[in-house]
Amino acid sequence: MAAVAAERAVVAALSAGAGTAALRIEGLNATYGATRVVRDVTADIAPGRVTAIIGPSGCGKSTLLRCLNRLHETARNATVSGSVWLDGVDIYAPDVSEVAVRRQIALVMQRPTPFPMLSIAENVVAGLRANGARSGSALRDAAETALRRAALWNEVAHRLGDSPVTLSEGQQQRLCIARALAVSPRVLLLDEPTASLDPASVQRIEELVYELRKRTTVVMVTHNMQQAARVSDTTAFVLHGELVEMAPTARLFTAPADARTEAYITGRFG
C-alpha cells in the first residue's frame, strides 16, 4: 500500500507539470560524418513560450532540435559539441546522463511513431512505465490527463485498448504528443509535427501547441512560415546550420533585421 502511495506521488509530481524551463544554447556544433550540420549556434529559449525554428529544407533545423534532447549523438558518425543549459544544468556535462536528460526534454517526430505492439493507452503511458511507474490506477489517470491535454481523449476514450494503427494519422500524431506530455517534460520539442497531416488535423495540433505554452516550454521546427506566425511567440531562422536571426515572431516576419531572413520570408528561395 505504501509502495503504491509512493508511486502515486512520483507520477503525480511528474504529471503536475514540473513546470516550464529555460534553455540556453551556447556554441552548439553538430556533424554528420564529415559535414558540419549545425554551426556555432547560440540562443536563449524562453520558458513558457513557443519558439519556432524555420528555414529551408536540409539546413540543420531538425538536427539542431535533436541536439536539444541529446538524440543526435545516438546516430552513427554523429558528433556534438557545445553546451545546452537546462535551467542552469548543462545537459552535455560529462557527469550528466543522456537518459535523464531525455526524460525531461521530450521530442515528437515528424511522422507519427506509435508503438505498434502496444494499445493506445499503453502507448500513452509508455514513457511513464519506462521510468519505473507500475501502478495501474496512477497510470490510468496519467493517461487520461495526457490524452485530454492532447485533445484526443474524447475520440479514444471508448477504445483505449485498440491498436494505434486503427487511428488516423492526425490522431496518431496527437497520440504521440500525448505520450510525450505524459512524462511532464519541462521542454517539449516538436519536429515538423504537422508535416504529413491533413488541414483539419493541422489546425487541431496548432491549437494544441498554442495551449501548451502555459505549462511547457515548446520548441517547434516547422516548414510552414504561416504556421510559425500563427503559433509561436519567438521565431528563429536557421540557414545552413547557422542561426541567422531570432526575434519575437511578429517582428521577424514584418521587419526582419537580416537580408537573408527577408529573402527567405518573401519566398525568394527555399
The contact set with another protein (CB under 8 A) reads: 13-14, 18, 69, 71, 74, 86, 89, 91, 95-97, 99-104, 106-107, 109, 111, 113, 115-119, 126-127, 130-131, 162-163, 165, 176, 179-180, 183
**Residue 12 Cβ vs another protein, minimum distance, rounded to whole Å:** 13
Nearer to another protein (CB atom), residue 48 or residue 270: 48
Nearer to another protein (CB atom), residue 131 or residue 203: 131
**Residue 121 Cβ vs another protein, minimum distance, rounded to whole Å:** 13
- For 268, phi then psi, to 5°, come to -75, -15
**Residue 51 Cβ vs another protein, minimum distance, rounded to whole Å:** 18
Sign of CA dihedral 246, 248, 249, 252: negative
**Residue 226 Cβ vs another protein, minimum distance, rounded to whole Å:** 27
Nearer to another protein (CB atom), residue 102 or residue 204: 102
Nearer to another protein (CB atom), residue 106 or residue 150: 106
**Residue 260 Cβ vs another protein, minimum distance, rounded to whole Å:** 31
Nearer to another protein (CB atom), residue 82 or residue 270: 82
